Amino acid sequence: MGRGFGNLGISRSLAVVLLSALGGSLKVVGGLVYGSRAALVDALTSIVNLLSALAVSKFEYLSTRPPDGDHHYGHYRLFAGGSIAALVLYSTVGGAMLVELAFGAVRGYEVHIYAPLYTALGVAPYVLAIALSKGAGRSYQTYVKFTSIELIEGATVVASSLGGALLSYVIDALGAAALLAYLYFEIAVETRELVHLISDRAPTHILSEASRRVRREVGVSVKQLRLREVAPGRYQGDITIVLPRGTSVEQAHDVARKVEEALGELGIEVVVHVEPTDTEEILRRESSATVLSLNR
């Protein structure tokens, strides 16, 4: 859920959007006009898939804007707007369909034989969308994967609405329940990911690589490095480096700039704090001196 079109070309994205909209519309007919609740769940999730992909793309774009007067650390976190929009949309569909399905299951309903037909027709544009998405690079894999799930859902709906039309509405209701369960699963996964990301998680996987890089490329030792992930692949934090006593402000500034550059290549933005080599010793001596004077 909630994959953007960030890496697709404009015309290709437009084609994918239009094909997805066409597929969604055909499923809406199968659901609203011909009575299949399974088709209705599938149609609504297709439509919110599309809307949330658009929202994700918009927020991905907004998050790349440089820092300004009201966002001193950049706009990276705005990317979360896409996930939040997706969660709101999916939860709305989930709640509406839960009530609809409960009423349908209790009162019973009729599925017309045209429902599986329209759903099957609705699957075709998604096959085209997948074909378009392929060969568009590695970042497309997520979109392909997500659209493949659409196809599995499409097959589920065709089978269950066909059963609903020929045998009993219960088969259609079971198909709808399966799709709804998967929708709630997706909501849970997405919520979990979002909460983790905005919790200022430390990127432990690049922490040692970052320290090593500073040591190797700039030649200074790192006393402390604190980082947090602000957006996928974007990190901000602070670093404490140790320089020889008597280093001039100009030299220290030059080293700090090199540290910033070396880490910048890893997507890391840091504030550099400089300490002279033997600070700890001095501090220890100062504190023991304090103890001595207290004893006196």
Cβ-based nearer residue to Zn ion, 70 or 250: 70
The piece of 5-13, 39-47, 63-71, 261-269 that touches Zn ion (CB under 5 A) is: 63-71
Q: What's the closest the beta carbon of residue 189 comes to Zn ion, in angstroms?
A: 30
Cβ-based nearer residue to Zn ion, 71 or 212: 71
Tokens matching residue 7: 């890496």
Helices (H), the chain: 10-28, 37-63, 80-107, 114-133, 140-166, 169-197, 204-213, 249-264, 279-295
> Which long-range CB contacts under 8 A does 252-257 form with residues at least 24 apart?
255/218, 255/220
Q: How far is CA 84 from CA 75, 126, 198, 285, in A?
A: 16, 25, 12, 53
Q: Which residues pair with 271 in a beta bridge?
A: 238
Q: What's the closest the beta carbon of residue 176 comes to Zn ion, in angstroms?
A: 43
Q: How far apart are the C-alpha atoms of 174 and 179, rounded to whole Å? A: 9
Three-class SS state of 71: strand
Q: How far is CA 224 from CA 218, 252, 284, in A?
A: 16, 17, 19
Q: What's the closest the beta carbon of residue 74 comes to Zn ion, in angstroms?
A: 9
Q: Which residues pair with 221 in a beta bridge?
A: 242
Give the x/- contact pattern for Zn ion in 124-163, rule: CB under 5 A: ----------------------------------------
Q: How far apart are the C-alpha atoms of 235 and 270, rounded to whole Å? A: 8
Q: Taking CB under 5 A as the rule, does residue 250 contact Zn ion? A: no
Cβ-based nearer residue to Zn ion, 68 or 281: 68
Cβ-based nearer residue to Zn ion, 66 or 219: 66
Q: Taking CB under 5 A as the rule, does residue 66 contact Zn ion? A: no
Q: What's the closest the beta carbon of residue 195 comes to Zn ion, in angstroms?
A: 24
Residue with tokens 């997507």: 267
Cβ-based nearer residue to Zn ion, 64 or 208: 64
The piece of 24-32, 38-46, 60-68, 162-170 that touches Zn ion (CB under 5 A) is: 60-68
Residues 65/75, Cβ–Cβ less than 8 Å: yes
Question: Which residue in 10, 11, 70, 294 binds Zn ion (CB under 5 A)?
Answer: 70
Tokens matching residue 231: 């957006």
Q: Taking CB under 5 A as the rule, does residue 71 contact Zn ion? A: yes
Residue at shortest CB range from Zn ion: 71
Cβ-based nearer residue to Zn ion, 62 or 127: 62
Q: What's the closest the beta carbon of residue 264 comes to Zn ion, in angstroms?
A: 21
Q: Taking CB under 5 A as the rule, does residue 281 contact Zn ion? A: no
The piece of 66-74, 125-133, 134-142, 221-229 that touches Zn ion (CB under 5 A) is: 66-74
The residue ranges that bind Zn ion (CB under 5 A) are 68, 70-71
